[in-house]
Amino acid sequence: MEKHYLTPEGKTQLEEKLNFYKTVKRPDVVKRIGIAREFGDLSENSEYDAAKDEQAQIEAEIAEMEGILLNAEVIDKKKINADKVSVGCKVVLYDEEFDEEVVYTITGSSESDPRNGLISNVSPVGKALIGHSKGEVISVQTPGGTTSYKIVDIQV
């Protein structure tokens, strides 16, 4: 099974979301299925079909969240060594092509949010940064082409 890296906050958020799905969303869709059954012929009942589709989606999301939590490794910031980039680090990079600094926090895939500077350890940039030190220049093959970054700083 694939290991999922989570921050303590990310684990808490995922547990809360899972609880919401199990205690609110799941019972709600079961209730809607029961109401839709009362409309009669299920073969032509669009409300029933929509509720069953939603139920399948909710159950798939619950299974995914449970799988992530089952295989989660919570990042302990006290154990992170800021000498090399690892999951949980904030990395200041100099983008040579655009002559600007960018800041990324390396997270596990389930917490990534690139628009807010949270990149996954399995993304092209995240994967290229892991294990490198301050001062190193790395080249990253992205869908937009090759980009070079200089690691300016690593923070925990």
Q: State the pTM of this model.
A: 0.77
What pLDDT, in 10s, does the model give residues 65-90?
Answer: 999 999 999 998 888 888 999 999 99
Number of domains, the chain: 2
Residues 101 and 146 in one domain: yes
Domain that holds residue 43: 4-74
The confidence band for 42, taking pLDDT boundaries of 50, 70 and 90, is: low
Q: Domain check: are 60 and 81 in the same one?
A: no
Question: Among the three residues 42, 74, 106, which one is the final residue of a domain in this structure?
Answer: 74
Q: Of 57, 74, 91, which residue constitutes the final position of a domain?
A: 74
pLDDT at 7: 86
Of 73, 66, 60, whose CA–CA distance to 4 is shortest? 73
Of the listed ranges 30-44, 88-102, 107-121, the one predicted with least confidence = 30-44
Same domain, 41 and 100: no
Under 8 Å between Cβ of 57 and 105: no
CATH number of 57's domain: 1.10.287.180
Q: Are 105 and 119 in contact (CB under 8 A)?
A: yes
Q: What is the pLDDT, as a whole number, of residue 83?
A: 92
Residue 39 has pLDDT above 80, yes or no: no
Is residue 89 located within the same domain as residue 49? Answer: no
Token digits of residue 140: 């990253």
Residue 119 pLDDT > 80:
yes
What integer best gives the mean pLDDT of the chain? 91
